[in-house]
Amino acid sequence: MRILKFPLDHVCIKTGILCPRCQKLVSSGVIESFEVEVMRRLIELEEDQELKKYMQNLSYVKAYRFEDSIVVLIQRSGDVPHDIYQRLSRILSESLRARVRVINGSSRDLKSIASQLLFPARILGINIVWLPNGTSFHVLRVSKRDLRYISIPIEAAEKILSLIIGSDVQIRGE
């Protein structure tokens, strides 16, 4: 029985042979090729009896990769404890041989996403810097002491946050 919801067909993910619809999603760039492997690992986790009751409340949204760091956005529809995200992160990190962080992507709010991604570091504030040419970027202010606790490299976190919100993000320690 399929529990977790995916943008690709369950059979295509499991077999690795994509139907024309799924192949079109991968070819067009809506779904990146590495995401198929992430989805396959999540399907394998559906067999875990401890995780099964929580996996039915989750939907896969998107995965972002920068060098050896992967962030997986999962949307929840019910009650899912925070430690389930941490457990999924740890299991996926081991199986994908990368730094994986699974976060709740129900809200595309920068502060919500950033606080989950940078946990346990505290976010002191977010500023928007407007440039003379009319463009802008976000500056995420984090406690300088907390920078060392961030599990993924700062440049990876900046790039991934930029991809998620669609605007440049810089992380600064204060």
Could you state, in order of their start, the residue ranges of all structural domains in the chain? Answer: 1-106, 107-174
Q: What is the pLDDT of residue 28?
A: 93
Q: What is the pLDDT of residue 1?
A: 45
Q: What is the pLDDT of residue 77?
A: 76
- The length of the chain is 174
Kindly state the DSSP code that residue 117 receives in the 8-state scheme: H
Helix extents (H) in 5-81: 10-15, 20-28, 33-45, 49-55
Q: Which CATH number fits domain 107-174: 3.40.309.10, 3.30.360.10, 3.30.300.20, 3.10.180.10?
A: 3.30.300.20
Q: How far apart are CA 167 and CA 159, in angstroms?
A: 10
Q: What is the pLDDT of residue 3?
A: 64
Q: 40 is written with which tokens? A: 């396959």
Asked whether the bond before 132 is cis by omega within 30 degrees of 0, the reply is no
What pLDDT tens digit does each residue of the chain (174 aa) get? Answer: 456 788 899 899 999 899 999 999 999 989 998 999 999 999 888 887 777 777 877 888 899 998 888 999 988 877 777 788 888 899 999 999 998 999 888 777 889 899 888 988 899 999 999 999 989 999 999 999 988 888 888 998 999 899 888 889 999 988
Count of alpha carbons within 13 Å of 170, Cβ hemisphere only?
Answer: 10
Beta bridge partners of 127: 139
Q: What is the pLDDT of residue 130?
A: 94
User: Whole-model pTM?
Assistant: 0.83
Contacts 24+ apart (CB under 8 A), 51-57: 51/84, 51/87, 51/88, 52/3, 54/80, 54/81, 54/84, 55/3, 55/4, 56/3, 56/4
Residue recorded with tokens 């925070």: 82
Q: What is the pLDDT of residue 23?
A: 93
